Amino acid sequence: PRQPAKTLWYDRPQYVYLEFCVEDSTDVKVTFEDQRLVFSCRNADGVEFYNEINLYARINSKDSREKRSDRSITCFMRKWKEKVAWPRITKENIKPAWLSVDFDNWRDWEGDEEVERAMMEQYAEV
């Protein structure tokens, strides 16, 4: 039986970030579509995780990436319309139990593009 992974998200001027909290993940698959993201993986115990998110707005699927670490898989999705805030990550105005805002990374980002560029460069170097 598969289950959804606990997911954190936050909004930035150019990107929307999603973090799937699965430790020691294997078989990680992330599919970016224009308005949908599909994620699946297994953890060390062989539990299968699966999340499907119909996105609030359109993304540039070709310019979206994921990065795996021992603790989680982070996806950064390039917004189709930059500098437009997303009030939520899902198309539907309902919050699944497994989805939360990442308050550590959430902030009002007026004039925050430089910070974000630095973050992306840091990701790119990994």
Q: How crowded is residue 9: how many other Cβ atoms within 10 Å of its Cβ? A: 22
> What is the spatial distance between Cα 122 and Cα 64, in angstroms, rounded to a whole number?
15
Residues 76, 17: Cα–Cα separation, whole Å: 5
Domain 7-125 coded CATH 3.50.30.10: no
Return mean pLDDT, the chain: 91
Tens-place pLDDT, residues 93-112 = 999 999 999 988 887 665 56
Can you give the residue ranges of every domain in the chain? Answer: 7-125
- Interval 28-60: pLDDT, tens: 999 999 999 999 999 999 999 999 999 999 999
Structure tokens at 122: 């840091």
Taking the model in full, what pTM does it have?
0.86
